[in-house]
Amino acid sequence: MATSTSRSGPWGPAQHQQAATSSDVACRRELGLALAARLDDCVAITEARLRDIRWPGKPNAAYLARRPGLIWFSTLLLARWLASDVEPHPDELRWISQDGRMAAEENVPVVNIVKGNLAWRDALIQVLSEEAERLGSPATVLRRATRSVVYNCDSGIVRTLGAFDLHLAAITSELAHERLALRHQALHDPLTGVANRTLLMERLSEALDRPEPGACAVLLLDIDDFKDVNDDLGHSAGDAVLVRAAKRVRESVRPQDVVARLGGDELCVVLDDTDGSGEPARVAARIARALDEPFALRGGVTISVSASVGVAIAAAGDTAESLLRKADIAMYGAKADGKGGVRLYEDEHPA
């Protein structure tokens, strides 16, 4: 139930002027006016045909209420074109095209839309045939008018399918974004925004599965006396310190390194593709220095904290769990040294 521009149709003005006689032009206009006089009949015949069709699913009430007006207006545009060569205005075509988009958004089955267009096509052909017989129109005029109806019906179906394709593409894109958002939520700490334990273990396992396990290291850090921050200033202040601390750790490592929060005040870094024991120790010292800088909180409050960092470098046979345990042992060794320091696992278990 849609009208295309006449220049694209099978009986556009250029073809008409070249192939049709002046008598045919007059007959075509007479037929167009006759069709316009029977707009209500076209709607009634179309609706009657559609009532006899079995619809898949339950018919959409909004679509059913909108359909008679769409039939009436589409028929009027075609009758006007037959009678006067006046092409539909883009706004008129946009109004008709809304039907396909609205049908897609309202989940009207595509087959219902197609059947509606076909019923409209058959109703118009019936009315045009009746009027051509009554007016004595030449067979060529009726044939060309019928081709115009078929073309417009086909164009309407194509536009509707295009609207459904666009709607489907929009839904697919929205679902893809939602999946990414859900995956991000599932794999990141909601407070600090860094990775959570699940993502950390995933990335650490991937790093250890590569042929050079010695190129991977884990840095486990714990903010010293963090309980005192919560007790003295409240949990909101403690959360603010954790957020800022995670940000400083993130800024102290490379973009490809994984920063994660394991829970409470424990943060962890996975260094992949390192140059051995020297680089992890240097990165750990850089992180410790960054966390030594005072944190400015709301209300003009400034607080200083320190962090103890344990470093474990992967060896053959290490798993993600065993490497984290080594880093944890080294971190508690750093706390035993007086807090705020860095300890290598090798220092805990010298060869």
Q: Looking at this protein, which amino acid is placed at residue 322?
A: S
Choosing from 224, 257, 265, 328, the catalytic residue is 265
Q: What are phi and psi of 308, to 5 degrees?
A: -95, 130
Are 286 and 293 in contact by the 8 Å Cβ rule? The answer is no
Question: In the block, which residue shows the tokens 């009758």?
Answer: 79
Alpha carbons within 13 angstroms on the beta-carbon side of residue 37 total: 10
Query: Is 228 tagged catalytic?
Result: no
The conformation of residue 296, written as its DSSP 8-state character, comes to E
Coil, helix or strand for 68? helix
Coil, helix or strand for 288? helix
The conformation of residue 85, written as its DSSP 8-state character, comes to -
Q: In the chain, what is the greatest distance between 2 CA atoms, to the nearest angstrom?
A: 109
Distance CA 223, CA 256 (A): 24
Residues in the chain: 351
Catalytic residues: 265
